[in-house]
């Protein structure tokens, strides 16, 4: 099985993801990303390559980041140790200091025992599949072994957080004065920087999930557990709630009544606002095949085209880069604003969402009403081969379901890329119809 998944290398820390693996992966990264015109020119000028390394607050991040830094420095790479910061902060800093690449130690929304290693190329962009393949191959090859003064140095990136906060504040079209926001930091990487940034932007801030102990990341808090955020928004009478995941590359929201506003609704709000300000390039939004039919209808009503990609923010970003588009993302809350970020950024997204509330002087519920969410049922049919999705009986059942729904719904069958499973997704005008058709299709997939 390939080492890299859809978002870096991920697994149980000290299970499959060991310090040895982290060190070897870092050494291989130095070999592969140390090639190329710019890197070769730096080395020819007698300069060492530079990498930014950051992590989320998982306890295992301490030994994994130490292993990564050792692997890089032993390969002649200078390391800027940024400490605990969100993934999008690491991506921004790579570009901001013109580093050659960077590494983020995080398992995002996964529970605390897991961890992961995400590698970013120059400019803070995620690696193409081909480069990841070359790094994996290089793990069994010759490593760089400089000696004496040619080994890398590890130094503290002392103003890393300040640089990121100033960048976020400079991106805002409007201050947040008058907005009361509850921020749920998921006991993760945003626990320090997110409340500070919202306050600096003018908001009144109440914070939950901001007491990380290395073991409680994503545990009952954050974008995968919105119940506490909804209750706190209602309890304190706040205008909006913003939820991050463990590494803060996601943003989901709740309105003043505690109702969830998902990534599709957030993208709809931002797309129309950006279009009205002339900032939505080519009047196009990039979304994945999992985005709600209601998003497509809302965008069509506002003269905005939607381009769809496979699931994963890396594929959204690839299409955005190819087409020169400025906004894209996923229903899960990965939202990419390419004028300011090279990856999903939960702080950036939440700040801009609140800025639209302040600028338009509307509640989040009023802004979110731009889109009608179609009921969506997602069933995971486990224990079946991915080829089952292309079986003639399954295809016939899908065609029958699509004919029944017409233009009032949508069907999507998607084999899992990592598990023996086929996902069945059905949208319809009412939840009962969506559930009935999804159950029927799942039975056919099971055979």
Residues designated as active site = 108
Q: Strand order in 180-184's β-sheet? A: 204-208, 180-184, 240-243, 252-254, 260-261
CA dist 318 to 8, 132, 251, 286, 431, Å? 16, 15, 20, 10, 33
> Which candidate, 316, 343, 312, 329, places its Cα nearest to that of 414?
312
Who contacts 206 (Cβ-Cβ below 8 Å, separation ≥6)? Answer: 180, 181, 182, 183, 232, 236, 238
Q: Which H/E stretch holds residue 315?
A: helix 313-323
Phi/psi for 309 (5° steps) reads -130, 175
Count the neighbouring beta carbons within 10 Å of the beta carbon of residue 42. 16
Q: What is the DSSP track for 128-176?
A: PHHHHHHHHHHTTSPPP---GGGS--EEE-TTHHHHHHHHHHHH-SS--
Q: How many Å apart are CA 218 and CA 245, to the nearest integer? A: 7
């Amino acid at each position: 099985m390939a080492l890299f998944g859809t978002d870096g290398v991920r697994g149980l820390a000290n299970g499959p993801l060991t310090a040895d693996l982290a060190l070897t992966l870092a050494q291989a990264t130095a070999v592969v990303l140390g090639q190329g015109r710019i890197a070769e020119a730096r080395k020819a000028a007698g300069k060492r390559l530079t990498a930014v390394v950051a992590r989320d607050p998982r306890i295992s991040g301490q030994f994994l980041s130490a292993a990564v830094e050792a692997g890089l420095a032993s390969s002649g790479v200078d390391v800027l140790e940024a400490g605990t910061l969100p993934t999008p902060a690491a991506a921004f800093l790579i570009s901001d200091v013109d580093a050659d690449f960077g590494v983020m130690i995080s398992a995002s929304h996964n529970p605390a025992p897991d961890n992961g290693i995400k590698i970013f190329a120059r400019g803070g962009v995620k690696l193409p599949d081909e480069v990841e393949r070359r790094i994996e191959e290089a793990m069994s090859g010759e490593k760089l072994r400089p000696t004496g003064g040619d080994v890398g140095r590890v130094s503290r990136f002392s103003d890393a957080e300040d640089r990121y906060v100033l960048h976020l504040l400079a991106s805002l079209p409007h201050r947040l004065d008058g907005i009361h926001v509850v921020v749920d930091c998921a006991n993760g990487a945003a626990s320090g920087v997110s409340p500070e940034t919202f306050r600096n932007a003018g908001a009144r801030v109440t914070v939950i999930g901001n007491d990380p102990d290395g073991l409680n990341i994503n545990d009952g808090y954050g974008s995968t557990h919105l119940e506490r955020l909804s209750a706190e928004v209602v309890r304190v009478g706040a205008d909006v709630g913003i939820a991050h995941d463990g590494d803060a590359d996601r943003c989901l929201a709740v309105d003043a009544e505690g109702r969830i506003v998902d990534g599709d609704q957030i993208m709809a709000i931002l797309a129309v606002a950006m279009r009205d300000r002339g900032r939505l390039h080519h009047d196009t939004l990039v979304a994945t095949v999992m985005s709600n039919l209601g998003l497509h209808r809302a965008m069509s009503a506002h003269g905005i085209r939607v381009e769809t990609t496979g699931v994963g923010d890396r594929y959204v970003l690839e299409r955005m880069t190819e087409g020169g588009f400025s906004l894209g993302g996923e229903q899960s809350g990965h939202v990419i604003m390419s004028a300011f970020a090279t990856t999903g950024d939960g702080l950036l997204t939440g700040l801009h969402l609140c800025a639209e509330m302040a600028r338009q002087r509307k509640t989040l519920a009023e802004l979110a009403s731009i889109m009608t969410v179609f009921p969506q049922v997602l069933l995971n049919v486990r224990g079946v081969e991915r080829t089952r999705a292309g079986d003639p009986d399954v295809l016939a059942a899908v065609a029958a379901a699509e004919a029944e729904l017409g233009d009032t719904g949508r069907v999507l069958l998607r084999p899992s890329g990592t598990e023996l499973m086929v996902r069945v997704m059905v949208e319809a005008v009412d939840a009962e119809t969506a559930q009935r058709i999804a159950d029927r299709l799942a039975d056919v997939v099971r055979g």
